[in-house]
Structure 1
Amino acid sequence: MHLDFSPQDQQFREEVRAWIAQAYDADLRAMMAQSKNGYLDKAGQVRWQKALHARGWAAPNWPKEYGGPGWSATERFIFQSELAAAGCPPVSPMGLKMVAPVIMKYGTPEQKQRFLPPILSSDVWWCQGYSEPNSGSDLASLQLRADHGSDGDGEHYILNGSKIWTTHAQWADWMFCLVRTSRESKRQEGISFLLLDMHTPGITVSALPTLDGPMPGQQEVNQVFFENVRVPVANRIGEEGKGWTYAKYLLEFERGGTYSPMLRKQLSKIAEIAAEQPGDDGGRLLDDPVFRRKLAALHLRAAALEAVELRVFSGVESGTSIGAASSMLKLTGTETLQAASELAVEAAGPAALPFVQDTWAELQGRDAQPRVGPDYAAVLAPRYFNYRKASIYGGSNEIQRNIIAKLVLGL
C-alpha cells in the first residue's frame, strides 16, 4: 500500500522522530531490549508514559476536550508507526485505552472529573477484572457476587469471589470490574460495571506463574480474591445490570488497535538475526530460500493487516464504530504476532535453547544454568511462550471467528 503524505504530515513525522530521539533514552532502550512482552517494569513504564504526557502525546485517541492531542487519523498512524520503528514501549492499555473510553461515554460528570485526569497523567494504574476461574471466553457466566449493603457510609456493594489472569494487578491502584448484581434475568442483564480501589480491605492479589518464566520486573498475571469487599454504589458506571453493554464497548478497544507497526519492527529484527545465523548450506540463514519464503509471507500478512487497520481507523475518524472489525484485527494481529515469535526462535536456532531450558528449570524450582548466547536471544523464547496467550485474551480467537461469522457474514 502506497501512501502520499502531505508536507505537513512529513513535518509532523520529523517532529515525532526528534522527540523520540530525546525522550527514549539509553536506559529505557536497554530495558526494552530485555522485555519478553513489549512492556517495561512499572517504574520504567510510568517514566515513559509521563514523558509522553508531558509532551501531550500519552493518549492519541482521546478527544481534545479530555486532554487528547486532537490528531487526525493520519497523524495517529504516523505517531504509532514512528514509536514502533524506534522500538518504544506501548502505553499500558488498561487505563488509557480501555476504561477511559467507557468513562468518557457512560460515566457521570463527577466520574469523568475524578478518574480521567490521573489516567492521562499515569498517576493512577489500572487493571481489568473480567475473567474468572470458570468464566473465560464465556464471560457472561461470571459469578463474582456484588450484594447490596447500606450503613452510615451510604450505599455500597459487597463483593465476594475472584478474578483471574489479571494483568499487572500487583501494580494496580484501581480495577474496572464486571460483577453479578442479579440472578433473576438473562445472564447478560445481571452484570454491572464497577470501579474499585485495589487498596480496599478484603482484596488479595496472588501471582500466577506462566510458561514464559519469571524475568526481573516482568511478572504479569495474577488471581485476585475478594472477601466482603465494600465498593460504593457511586463507583458504578451507568445503570445497574447494564454492565454487559459497557463491557462490549470496552472490548472494541481491547480487541482493536494497531498491530502492523509492532510486526514490522519484529520482522526487521528477525532479518537481523537470520543475517548472523548460519543456514544448512553454511551460508547465511537469511539467504536460505525456505527461510526467506517464511519471512516474506509474514511481511505480506503485516502489509495486509496494515491496510485493514488504515481502513478501520479512517472509518473511526468519520464517526463509524469499530464493531466486528475489532474482532478481525484481533484475530489476524495476534496470530501474525505468534507466527513472528515462532520464526524468531527458528532464526536464533540453538542460541535460543538455553533460555527455553531456563524457563522450564525456573518453573520447576530447579537452578537455571548460566545463560550463554547473544543478548537478543534472552527474550526470544520467553516472548514465544508469552505470545501463546495472545489468541486467548480479549476473547479467544475461536470466539472472534464466531463474531465475524454472525455479524459480518450473516451466518
Structure 2
Amino acid sequence: MDFNDSPEEAAYRKAAQDWLAANAPKAHVGGDPEGGDSLAASKAWQAKKAAAGYACITWPKEWGGAGGTPIQHVIFGQEEAKHPIPPNPFQIGLGMCVPTVMTFADDETKKRFVGPALRGEEIWCQLFSEPSGGSDVAGSRTKAVRAPDGSGDWLISGQKVWTTGAQFSDFGIVICRTNPDVPKHKGLTMFWLDMRSPGVEVKPIHQMSGGSGFNEVFFTEVRVKDSQRLGAEGDGWKVSLVTLMNERLAVGGATGASWENFLEAARATPGLDGAAAIKDAALRDKLADWYVQAEGLKHTRNRTMTALSRGQTPGPESSIGKIVSALQLQDLSNTAVEMMDQYGIINDPELASLSGMFHGSLMFVPGLRIAGGTDEILKNIIAERVLGLPGDIRVDKDIPFKDMPTGR
C-alpha cells in the first residue's frame, strides 16, 4: 500500500490545486439543492468544471470526459473538498443513472443525454425503492405493460419511494415488473423517462432534519416508448446491477460531525463536576474508539486508492466504509447531544455548539443507513463476497412473482 503520489499524480494534484484556487467559489451558496440560488450555483460550478475537463474525469473524451484515470478522479475530489463548493445534485445522475444509460442505450440516446448531464444542464434521479420492497430491488411491484393501441409503447403504473432529488430532476431511470409469471429477478425491465411526463406525480417527504431531500413518486399509466428501454425486456435485474455497483461507490462513507469535532466540543462543554467533559473516562473511551474506527476507514480508503492507481477495480470491500462510518456518525452525534445536557435541545445554528453540526448529523444519519443499501444488505455483501461465507437463504428464489405470499 503506497500512500504517496507518484510523480505523475503529484503533477496532476498541483494542476488541480492551481485551477481550483483560481476558479472555485470563495464562499458557500446555500446548503439545500432545492433552493433556487443554490441549484443555480451548483449548475454553474458543474458547467465550469466540465469546460475545464474536471467533470467526470474518467469518462471518454468523446462523451465530454477527460479520458483520465480513477486515481485522478480521486485526487480532484480530495482537492475540491477543500473549497466551499455548492451542493452536488448531480451525484446520482452522473454516478449511477447516466453510466447505466451509457452502457445500455443506443447511440442516439447517449448523444442526447450524456453531454447535458455532464455539463449540469439536466439532473437525473434513480427510481428503485418501493414501499413494500425497500432494499430488495428485485421485489419491485411497479408494473409496465404494453399499451393496448399496438404502438409498442409501455404504460407504467405504481409507486417508488425515498427517491432523492426527484422534485428537481429532469429525467430518471426506473425498474419495472414486466412479467409476473417468472421468478422476481427475471421479470424486470429498466426504462429511462422524462420526469415531467403526464402521469408522474412527485411528493417530497418532510424529514425530521427539516429538509425534503427524499420523495414519493407515483406513476399512473405513464407512457414511455420502447426505445426508452435500457437493456433487453426481462433483463432489468442485470441492468440494475450496473447501477447498484456504481451506487456503492457513489454513496461512499458518511459525511458529518467527526471525532475531531466531538473533541473540540468536549473540551468546551462542562461536565457533571464542573470540569471539561473531556475529562470523563467514559467519553474518552468512546473518543478512542471513534479515532480507531476513523483510522481504519482511512486506510481502507487508501487500499481502494492504491487499487485505482494500479488500474485495478475496487471490490465489494467499499461496503465496509458505509456501514462503519454511518454507525459511528450516529453514535457520535447522539453522544454529543446527550453530553450537552439541556443545551442539547438547542439546534439553532447561531446558538448551538459548532453551529448545530451534531444535531444535523443526528437527524440525517438514519436515512444514510438506508441509502445505498441497508446495513443488513451490505453485511450480506461483505459476508458472501469478501469473507466467502455461504449465501443467505432465499426461499423465494424460484417462485413466480405472482405466487409470492404478501401481507394482508
Residue 107 of structure 2 corresponds to which residue in structure 1? 109
Tell me which of 238, 241, 255 is aligned to 1:245: 238
Picking from 373, 381, 385, the partner of 2:363 is 385
Query: What is the Cα deviation at residue 301 of structure 1?
Result: 1.8
Q: Which runs of 5+ in 1 are unaligned?
A: 356-369
Q: Per-residue CA shift, 1:115-165, capped at 9, x if unaligned? A: 11111011111111101111112221211110012658x421101111111
Structure 1 residue identity aligned to 2:241: K
User: 1:307–1:347: structure 2 CA closer, same or farther, 3 Å change rule?
Assistant: same
Asked if the contact 2:89/2:123 (under 8 Å) is kept, the reply is no
- Say if 1:231 and 1:81 are closer, same or farther in 2 by CA, change over 3 A: same
More moved, 42-51 vs 393-402: 42-51
Offset, 1:255? 1.6
Contact kept? 1:338, 1:387, Cα under 8 Å: yes
Mapped contact 1:255–1:329 kept (Cα < 8 A): no
Aligned twin of 2:45 = 48
Identify if the C-alpha distance between structure 1 residues 41 and 296 changes in structure 2 by more than 3 Å, giving closer, same or farther. Answer: farther
Match of 1:139 in 2: 137
Aligned to 1:192: 189
Which amino acid in structure 2 is aligned with residue 185 of structure 1?
V
Determine the structure 2 residue equivalent to 1:4: 4
What are the residue-to-residue correspondences of 1:11-410 with 2, within 5 Å? 11-28=11-28, 31-32=30-31, 41-86=38-83, 88=85, 89-90=87-88, 92-149=90-147, 151=149, 154-214=151-211, 219-257=212-250, 259=252, 262=255, 266-286=258-278, 290-315=282-307, 320-345=312-337, 350-355=342-347, 373-374=351-352, 376-408=354-386, 409-410=388-389
CA contact (8 A) 2:27 2:84 kept: no
Deviation at residue 167 of structure 1 after TM alignment: 1.1
Normalising by structure 1, we get a TM-score of: 0.82
Q: Which 10-residue stretch deviates more, 86-95 or 113-122?
A: 86-95
SS in 1 for 2:186: helix
Structure 2 vs 1, CA of residues 55 and 347 (structure 1 numbering), >3 Å: closer, same or farther? farther
Structure with greater helix share of residues: 1
| CA positional deviation for 1:381 | 1.4
Distance, in Å, in 2 between the alignment partners of 1:116 and 1:343 is 44
Q: Hey, what's the Cα distance between the residues in 2 that align with 1:347 and 1:251?
A: 38
- Whichever residue aligns with residue 129 of structure 2, its letter is S
Q: TM-score, normalised by structure 2?
A: 0.82
Report the RMSD for the aligned CA atoms in angstroms.
3.2
Contact 1:192-1:244 within 8 A present in 2 as well: yes
Give me the whole-angstrom Cα distance separating, in 1, the residues matched to 2:70 and 2:127.
Answer: 30
Aligned residue in 2 for 1:362: none
List per-residue Cα deviations over 1:141-196 (Å, max 9, x = no partner): 211110012658x4211011111111111101111110111112111111111100
Give the corresponding residue for 2:406: none
- Structure 2 gap segments, 5+ residues each: 391-408
